Structure 1
C-alpha cells in the first residue's frame, strides 16, 4: 500500500466500525437522554465546543428542558448532569457502576501517569488500595497535624505580598507549593523561586500540554502506535519530554527523602512514612505507591488550590463590600493588625461563608473529573450504555439561579441566614467514591490563606495610564482546572508597620 491508501483504508475501517456500532445501539428499547441532533457516523463532533464546555452543556439542558443531556462522538457516548439531583442519583446512589474513570490514552500510555496519579486510576482493587493509603494521610483527624506547616506558609505569603505585591499570582502558587512540598516530602522550600516547586510546575505544564493534545488521541486511539512523523501523531515525540518532566519531579524528591532517612535527618512526611514502611520483600507496586502518593500530593494539589486563591483576590477587587465586611469581622474579633489562625475560625462566620461562596462562585473544576459507566443502566427512562463518559456540570449546578439567586455575584451572606441560607456547595470536591480524599486539607489551606490576606491587605483595582481605576474582567481560563485569567490589582497593607508585625506574628507561631 502507498502512504495515502493506508490512510484511506484506516479511515474506511473506522467508519464501518462506527456504523455497525450505531446500528446495534439503536436496537435498545429505551431512548438515550435528550441532546442535540448529531450527524451520521460522527454524531455531535461538530457541536462540542473547543472551550468552556460547561457553558454549552448548561445551555443545551436549558433549551431542551432536561437536567441530563446526551451527545455522541464517533460512537463514544457522553452524558452531562446539569443538576445536583441527577449527579447525586447517578454518581453517589449508583456509585458502584459510576466510579470508574476513562483511560485517557496520552496520560496513561505515553506519560505513564495513569499508573501512579490516583485521580486517573480506573475503579478496581488498585484504586482501593491506593485510596486507602492516601486517605490514611489526609483524613479529617489527620489533616489538623499539617496546620503548623500551613500557618508558616501563609505568613510567608504575606511577607512576599508586602515586598512585591504585583507578583501576587506567583506568590500564591509558591505558598501552595511550599505546603505540598513539606507535607509530601518534609522539605522546606526556599522563600522564593524554590527549584523543587519549579520542577512540580514544569510537571504540571507537561500534564496540561498532554491533556490538550489528548483530545484527538482519545477519539483516534490508534494514532498512539504511529511514528511521530505520521500526520496527527506528532505528540508521540513531545510525550517523551513530558514524561521525563513528570517523573523527574516525582523520583527526584523521593530519592532526596531516601537520602535524608539514611542520614537520619528526615522529618515526618508522607514520603518518609511510605519509605519507612517498605522492606526488602516489597513488591514493585508497593514501591510505586511509595513514590506515587507523595508525588500526587505535591504535583496535582498545586493547581486547584492556587486557582481558588487567585479567584479570591479577584472577588475582593470586584466586590469591595464583601471585602469590607470580612475585614470588619476580623477586626472586631481579633483587633486591627492581628493575624488569624485556625483557632479563630469558629468566631468568624462571615469568613466561613466567604469560603463557601468562593468555591461556588469560582469552582476550580467546572466539569469535575469524568466518570465512566461500567454497566448498561436506565435513569428516568433513559438508556445510558456501559462505557459512557459522565460529567457532573458543577459550574451549572452552582450557578442555578433557583438555588443561588444572582448566581454570578459574589455574595457570602447567602450562606448566613438560618431561615433562607443556600445549601453549602460540597460538590466542588467531587462525588461518591471518587470524592477528593484531600478536601479537608485543601479547605483548611484556602481558608487560612484568604483570612490572613484579608486581615493584612486591602485589594483594589489597578489604575490605567490616566490614573483611573481599571477593574479586571470576570473571565476565567477554559481548562479542566479553571482560574481567573492573569489580571492586575493594587494591594495595600492594612497593618501599621507591616513588616515588623509580620515578623512578630511569625515568631509567635
Structure 2
C-alpha cells in the first residue's frame, strides 16, 4: 500500500510539474516576444509583445535611425514583435558584417508581397537560388567594360536628344531626365528606344515603379510576413492585394511586351540589335534560364539602372540650383578642359576632378538608398561583443554613417571640396580605411553588378548638362524654389525628389548650335 501511495504521489507530483512547466512556458514564450536578447546590440526600450513597433518611423526611417545611432552607437537593434532588426551606422560595422561575412549576410528577407507582385524578382532572391545565380551570370555578359563600350553608340543618341529636349522645352526637365534614363536602359536591354515619353515604355515603367514603391511601403499593408494568415484575406477586403494586382498587371504587361519584341526579332532574323535580352535568349541553354527567368533578368536591370539614375540626376540639378557657387566652379573646370567649341565625350570626365567630387557629394548628401537594401543573416554572426542571431534583418544606414561628425567635417553642408582633400571625403586626420566609393551600390555579395554602367550614365549626363546649360531657381513657380530639405516627401525603395521646376538657360549660341548639329548627326546615324 505504501508503495502504491508513493507511486500515486510521484505521478501527481510529475503531473503538477508538467502543468507548471506548460503554464510557465506558455507565459514565457509570449513574454519573450518583443524583448531584446542580452547578446544583441543595445537599442531603444521595448514594449511587451510589440517591441519597438510603435516607435518605428512611418516616413524616412533613416532620420530616426541616425538619431538612435547617436544615442546607442554605430550598431543598434530593434524588435518588431518577434522580428529582430539590426542597423549599421558605421563603415567599420558594414565592412565587418556585410562585406567580410557576405556568405552568411548576403540574403534578403522574405517578402510575401514582393513575391506576389513580382513573381521571380532576384533583387529579393536568395543567393542559393538558381534564378539569382543565373541572373547574375547573365548580367555580367552585359556589364563587362568591353560590352558596355560596344553599347556606347546606342547611348549617344539619347545624350544628344536629352540636351536638345532641354533646349526646346526646359520646363519639362523632370520628364526629360526620366525619358533619357529609361530609354538608355530599354535600348541596351531590349533594343527599343523611347524617343518620346508619353505612352512609351518609359512612361509605363515609371507608372509601374510608382505603384511598386507603394506596394513595398511597410505601412500600406499589414504585417503579412509576421502573420501569414493575413495572406488569405479575400481581395475585396484587402486593399494591399488590390494594389499588388494593379502593379503586377502594369509591370507584367510592359516587360512581357519588351521580351516578345526581342523574341520576334530573333525568330525572324531581322532588325537584330545585339541587346542584352537577345544575347540571353541566344545563350539560354548555357545560362540554364527559362523564359520567366529571362524576363525577370531584364526587369531587374531596368529597375536597377533607371529610377536610381533619374533620381540622382534630379538631385544633382537640385544641388546646382541650391548651391550656385558649386555649379559655377564645376562649369569653370569644364570650360578649361573642354571649352565651348565641341561637345564633351566620355573620356573628358577623367580630367574633371571637381565634377567627380560633386557627384560623390551628391551620393553622400542625398543617397538614393539611405538604408540600402535589407540583408538577412543565415546563421549567427558575431561582431565585437554582440551576437546577431540567424534570421536578423540588417539595414545599412548610409545616411547616418555619412553624417557622422567624428568622420566628416560639417556633415550637413554640401561641400564637394571634402572629396578633393581626402579620398572618401572624411576628415584629414581620419584614414577612412573602412569606406569605399561604391558603398551606395550595395555590400558584400550583393554589390550591384551595374556599378560601371550607372557611373557612366551619371558622368556623361552631369558633364553634358553643365557644359550646355546654367540652372537656377524659378521663384515664380510653386515648385521652383524647392530646397534639398523639402524636396523628398514620398516613401519607396528609392529616395527620389518630387517633381520640380527650375530655370534652364543655354550658356551661349555656339553651344546651342553644337547640340543641334550633334543631335541631327546622331539621328541620321540611327535612321541608317
Asked if Structure 1 and Structure 2 have the same fold, meaning a TM-score greater than 0.5 normalized by the shorter chain, the answer is yes
Counterpart in 2 of 1:58?
66
Q: Secondary structure at the match of 1:142?
A: helix
Q: Is the 8 A contact 1:430 1:436 kept in 2?
A: yes
Q: 2:102 aligns with which of 95, 104, 128?
A: 95
Change (3 A) 1:18 1:128: farther
Give the drift of 1:88.
0.8
Q: Is the 8 A contact 1:162 1:499 kept in 2?
A: yes
Aligned to 2:385: 381
Determine whether 1:265 maps to 2:268.
no
1:217 aligns with 2:221: no
**Mapping of residues 327-342 of structure 1, within 5 Å:** 327-336=331-340, 338-342=342-346
Residue 171 of structure 1: which of 173, 176, 183 is its match?
A: 176
**CA RMSD, 1 decimal:** 2.6
- From 82, 106, 117, give the equivalent of 2:89: 82
Structure 1 stretch displaced more, 74-83 or 290-299: 290-299
Shift of residue 286 of structure 1? 2.4
Gaps of 5+ in 2: 1-24, 427-431, 523-528
Give deviations 1:159-183, integer Å, cap 9, x for gaps. Answer: 1111111111111010001101101
SS in 2 for 1:46: helix
Equivalent residue for 1:425, pick from 437, 440, 459: 437
> Is 2:461 the counterpart of 1:449?
yes
Counterpart in the other structure of 1:9: none
Counterparts of 2:180 and 2:133, CA distance in 1:
31
Aligned residues: 483
Partner of 1:309: 313
- Is the contact between residue 18 and residue 41 of structure 1 (CA under 8 Å) also seen in structure 2? no
Give runs of aligned pairs for residues 27-426 of structure 1, distance below 5 A: 31-64=39-72, 66-108=73-115, 110-111=116-117, 113-115=118-120, 117-126=121-130, 127-193=132-198, 195-212=200-217, 213-214=220-221, 216-230=223-237, 233-263=238-268, 264-278=270-284, 285-336=289-340, 338-417=342-421, 422=426, 425-426=437-438
SS in structure 1 at match of 2:105: coil
> Do the aligned partners of residues 472 and 55 (structure 1) sit closer, same or farther apart at CA in structure 2, a change above 3 Å counting?
closer
CA separation of 1:471/1:370 partners in 2, compared to 1, >3 Å: closer, same or farther? closer
Shift of 1:141: 4.0
Residue 486 of structure 1, aligned match among 499, 506, 510:
499
Q: Is contact 2:134-2:287 (8 Å) kept?
A: no
- Match of 2:485, SS state, is coil
Deviations 1:115-155 (A, max 9, x none): 1x221111214222321221221134433333333332122
Question: Gaps (5+ residues) in structure 1?
Answer: 1-15
Residues 469-508 of structure 1 mapped to structure 2, 5 A cutoff:
470=481, 472-475=483-486, 476-477=488-489, 478-496=491-509, 498-507=511-520
SS in structure 2 opposite 1:257? helix
Q: Is the 8 A contact 1:104 1:214 kept in 2?
A: no
Out of 424-433 and 97-106, give the one that drifted further: 424-433
Alpha-carbon distance change, 296 to 167 in structure 1, aligned in 2, over 3 angstroms:
same
Segments of 4+ moved more than 4 angstroms: 16-19, 24-28, 418-421
SS at match of 1:217: coil
Residues 477 and 501 in structure 2, CA contact (< 8 A), matched pair in contact too: no
Please give the per-residue CA displacement for 1:376-431, whole angstroms capped at 9, x wherever unaligned: 23221112111110000011112222322122222222112369954653201010
Q: 1:292-312 CA deviation, whole Å, 9 max, x = no partner?
A: 212222244221110000000
Deviates more, 1:152-161 or 1:452-461: 152-161
Cα distance change, pair 92–418 in 1 and its aligned pair in 2 (3 A): closer
| Cα distance in 2 for residues equivalent to 1:347 and 1:72 | 49
Separation (CA, whole Å) in 2 of partners of 1:385 and 1:457: 53
| Structure 2 CA distance for aligned equivalents of residues 454 and 81 of structure 1 | 36
**Larger Rg over CA atoms:** 2
Are 1:472 and 1:487, in contact at CA under 8 Å, matched by a contact in 2? no
Q: Distance in 1 between matches of 2:477 and 2:182?
A: 34
Farther off after superposition, 365-374 or 131-140: 131-140
Residues 34 and 48 in structure 2, CA contact (< 8 A), matched pair in contact too = no
Q: In structure 2, do the counterparts of structure 1 residues 62 and 352 end up closer, same or farther at CA, with 3 Å as the change threshold?
A: same
CA change 1:145–1:398 in 2 (3 A) is farther
Is the CA contact 1:353–1:412 (under 8 Å) kept in the aligned structure 2? yes
Deviation by residue 1:453-497 (Cα, 9 ceiling, x = unmatched): 00111011112389xx94535332443211223332111111315
Aligned to 2:32: 23
Query: Secondary structure in 1 aligned to 2:103?
Result: coil
Deviation at 1:507, TM superposition (A): 5.0
Q: Do the aligned partners of residues 370 and 225 (structure 1) sit closer, same or farther apart at CA in structure 2, a change above 3 Å counting?
A: same
